[in-house]
Amino acid sequence: NAGVTQTPKFRILKIGQSMTLQCAQDMNHNYMYWYRQDPGMGLKLIYYSVGAGITDKGEVPNGYNVSRSTTEDFPLRLELAAPSQTSVYFCASSRLSSNQPQHFGDGTRLSIL
Amino acid sequence: DQQVKQNSPSLSVQEGRISILNCDYTNSMFDYFLWYKKYPAEGPTFLISISSIKDKNEDGRFTVFLNKSAKHLSLHIVPSQPGDSAVYFCAASATTDSWGKLQFGAGTQVVVTP
């Protein structure tokens, strides 16, 4: 009964480093999403995917990249990490696009120093 | 431009009393609304939703009311319990906007006191 699994839970990066945040779901959901949450703010959509091989930008995509080679996995890549990318990152998935709740992982807390 | 607003960052309520959380939206295309609950160090958990064809949806202690003309929705928790202490997010989407993208409010921290 894993649902949406995110790794790692915590990470500290230096400015300019790169890393990949992992997200996997075992519910056979077609739709997957990456959000970031800054303190005192709501979640903002970074990228989303509607199926393997299909991705698109959300509200705040700059500095990030994604890929979707399988239905289960949706990794988020940070290239040249910047302090502004310090945030908590959440991955979510849903079965359909319309009128269906999204199911979230427990997040990755990322600090860029 | 924030399309979903939760103007009360925090709410304190006594155990057993009613909690009322409010949410306003500006985009008239939104037609599906959700409430999520979030504990520290966990991801948001889906609580309850409502489609714009309804004005009320109830699930146990949780009821969501939708006032489309005022672009306002509210979540009622009756009775409030200590385990309800969490951050509550309102979210909205438009079925005409494909792919189910959600817009979130900033959240309301609820503290239920004994």
Which domains, and CATH codes, for chain A? 4-95 (2.60.40.10)
> Do residues A85 and A60 lie in contact, with contact meaning Cβ atoms separated by under 8 Å?
no
What SS3 class is residue B94?
A: coil
Report the residue from A4, A42, A56 with minimal CB separation from B104: A42
Contact residues on chain B for A40, CB-CB shorter than 8 A: 9, 106
| pLDDT tens-digit map of B32-58 | 999 999 999 999 999 999 999 999 999
Count A/B contacts: CB-CB distance under 8 Å.
67
- In this predicted structure, what is the pLDDT of residue B100? 81
Q: Do B46 and A33 touch (CB under 8 A)?
A: no
pLDDT tens for B1-17 read 789 999 999 999 999 99
Decide the pairing of beta strands A87-94 and A108-112: antiparallel
Report residue B84 CA to chain centroid gap: 13
What is the structure's pLDDT at A19?
96
A6, amino acid identity:
Q
Note the pLDDT of residue A1.
Answer: 66
How far does CA B87 lie from the centroid of its chain?
Answer: 10
User: What pLDDT does A105 receive?
Assistant: 97
Intervals of chain A under pLDDT 50: none
User: What integer is the mean pLDDT of B82-105?
Assistant: 90
DSSP for B37-59, please give it: EE-TTS--EEEEEEETT-SEEEE
Residue carrying structure tokens 């300019």? A16
From the list B9, B44, B100, the residue facing A94 with the nearest CB is B100
Structural domains in chain B?
A: 4-113 (2.60.40.10)
Minimal-distance CA residue of chain B relative to A98: B100
Q: Are strands A108-112 and A10-13 parallel, antiparallel or unpaired?
A: parallel
Q: What pLDDT was estimated at residue B97?
A: 74
Interface residue of B102, B103, B109 to substitute, partner A, most A CBs within 10 Å: B102
Give 3-state DSSP helix, strand, coil % of chain B, rounded to 5: 5, 55, 40
pLDDT of residue B26: 97
Closest-CA distance, B37 to chain A, in angstroms, reads 11
